[in-house]
């Protein structure tokens, strides 16, 4: 019985490390979003394009981190608590929708010159920010459940 308890502690420690990596990636992405949004009104200049590229890279890294650090962990049946799995199952379809929004934003801006899209960037960033806020709220519900908090 003692080895099962140790296995549970080890598994929860690993999930804690994964969640910390996810939150760190998310924080970096939000910081770059704030930096980019602070450049308004947008002009198609190299510094703005570089800030947009850095943001897109961080955005995709964060999205991948969420997938691999959180959802893949749950999908691979590493989580045994039914309360956590129930919350994850409930919110995962909406997470997929937010991922689609993120990927569309990235596809639009990752390699496009701002000469062609600068007038849409503020509106697209605003919409993306709303999407990220919702996604973070959903992720936090899963994280709280994984940390044993009552939802």
- For the segment 121-145, the average pLDDT, to the nearest whole number, is 95
- Give the model's pLDDT for residue 125: 97
Inter-CA distances, 111 with 5, 71, 103, 151, Å: 50, 28, 13, 41
CATH 3.90.650.10 correct for 2-146:
no
Contacting residues for 109 by C-beta, under 8 A, at least 6 apart: 52, 56, 117, 121, 124
Q: Give the mean pLDDT of the chain.
A: 87
- For the segment 40-59, the average pLDDT, to the nearest whole number, is 94
């Amino acid at each position: 019985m003692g080895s099962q308890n140790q296995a549970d502690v080890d598994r929860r420690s690993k999930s804690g490390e994964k969640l910390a990596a996810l939150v760190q990636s998310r924080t970096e992405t939000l910081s770059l979003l704030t930096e980019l949004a602070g450049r308004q009104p947008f002009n198609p200049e190299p510094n703005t394009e570089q800030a947009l590229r850095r943001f897109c890279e961080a955005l995709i890294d964060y999205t991948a981190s969420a997938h691999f650090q959180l959802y893949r962990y749950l999908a691979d049946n590493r989580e045994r608590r039914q309360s956590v799995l129930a919350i994850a199952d409930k919110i995962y379809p909406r997470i997929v929708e937010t991922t689609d929004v993120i990927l569309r934003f990235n596809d639009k801006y990752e390699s496009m010159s701002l000469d062609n899209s600068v007038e849409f960037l503020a509106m697209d960033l605003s919409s993306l920010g709303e999407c990220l806020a919702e996604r973070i709220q959903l992720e936090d519900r899963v994280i709280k459940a994984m940390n044993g908090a009552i939802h």
